[in-house]
Structure 1
Amino acid sequence: MQMAMMAWRLLWPFVLMGVLSCVALEIHPEESQYYAAEGSDVTMLCQYNDTLDRSGYIIWSFTRFDAYKPPRIFLFGDGRLHLDLDATMKGRVHFAARDALNGDASLTISNVSRSDAMTYICVVKKLPEMEEKKIMTLRVMEPPSQPICNLQEEFARGNNVTLTCLSFHGESPLTYTWSKISGNQVLPANAVVDSVRGTMRLDSIIEQDCGSYLCTVESLVGSKSCELVLPCPDVPEAHMSSALLITISITVVLVILAVSIITAGCLWWSRKKTGQHNFSENVGDVPPPSQWIPKKKEILPSLHYEAKDQTVTMSA
């Protein structure tokens, strides 16, 4: 029995260390690289398991290589807060959570500037045996400016055209994307997009390629967009309604029918007039009806003279 008690006393420190290791501090998430646009707010996460008491302290230290004394923030377990910050950071740095000793020691910096781009270290210490730290870096970048959309060639049926999109300010990497925001909202199958230069080429365009297109330029700290409309002015039939097309077709048929009727009437009248003229000419060559009647033979009077013994009759 005594041997067992002595063994337990010898093993107790190791058991305690194992128990403590099970509840040891663990800072999460593991994200260690942060990007922020100039003038924006950024929160660097330093969250830990809340299984321990409030004893200990939290320290945020900022590694600024151009400063003799790096800025720091101290938060003690009894609630005392000590800010050892320079003039450029005062009033812009604070804990994200209301109670940083309750599992969330994340830090928020408002209206960030280029001078805030440096290495940050979050240290959480609970009891003498437990301490954990997390190292993070902050990169402050210029966001992309409003891009300008343009069309290089004339947009006409069958042509090859190039749509351009360019942001003149913004820190790389910049990525350009194009999308169609009208009609079926699907990019044409013949579209070739250059995500680095911001161009989109359309080969052998057709009426369905007309519409509104949106270009978006995006960086690690923001995005901006511009819109370009392709109205297809040279293909007005693409905008005609079916009713208008039917009306035009009927009108054309009626005009053709009317022209055909008029032409036929003119031909008939011309032939009729020509026939009468020929008849009159033929009639003029024929003697008048009075000349058609054959002349009666004149009966000459018979000359009778008596001879002495015979009678002679002379006829014409």
Structure 2
Amino acid sequence: MEDRNMLLKSLLLVITGLVLHQDPVNSVTVTIRENVVVGKAGASVTLPCSYSTSVGTNFNVQWKFAPGNTLPSNGNQIYYYSNGGSYKPGSQADRLTIVHNPPTSGDASIQLSNIRASDNGSYACEVNNPPDFSGTGSGIVQLTVLTPPGSPSCQMSGSPIAGSDVTLQCSSSGGNPPPIYSWIFVGSKTPLLPGMMENQRTGALLLTNLSQSISGSYRCTATNELGQATCDLSISVTSSSNSGAIAGAVIGVLLALLLIAAIVIYFLRYRKKQRKVPRPEYRGSEIREDATSPVLHEDRRGPQTDSILHDTRDRDENIVI
């Protein structure tokens, strides 16, 4: 029994010695104290990243950027540190700085200056210290850049004829957070009149049962916490009779133009045909087919004709050959 106890104690001492003589394994742990960072356009922001590990010769830090809704795993490298050297291959290089240089004291945070809408997206901080691969070596920060709304555009859908309905549409490019839209009837004591229905989210203003009284100028304002922008739109309501007269006048003008065009085309073709007709050529020495024969029938000769022939014979006889 005592021998068995001694054997067990010996095995326990051997196992304990083996465990105590193993090299300690260091893990890499990355901590992101703010997962979402929000900043106004033109300002500077810090993207935090802290870590814990025993920095070795193979220690390196890198940041990747995935714009918009791109997956962080598909991001592009924007910062890299290794063996005492820092590299900034991304398009944000001139606006990116490392907070602690070199980043070997447990802080790998970076700072972006003059932020803009194109900086929106996910930023991944990765710390590696081979051969220590255990632990969590990466973290993600989401950056949201707040921007004012761009200049909106105002458009009208439908024909402003009395009794009908039209929709005024206002839309703005950019703006984060998305802007809220509001319409006013310029010159009116109240912002909107009865029969006007507004949608502040989409920017649509519905005008129902149009009348002459709502002719005028309308202004749309796009607003968020960083600013606002406006656009104007004027409408003129016409009665159905006026619209018919206008349509008739337009049709009459179009018909008149078509008639003038037809006359011009006919005249040009007629002149072209006239130039193509060849003129007959007549030479004095040639006998025309329709010319009257010089020899007249006996019964058509008169006294005057006989006298002319007699004189001709006399002149021929006097010619000396």
Report the TM-score, using the length of structure 2 for normalisation: 0.37
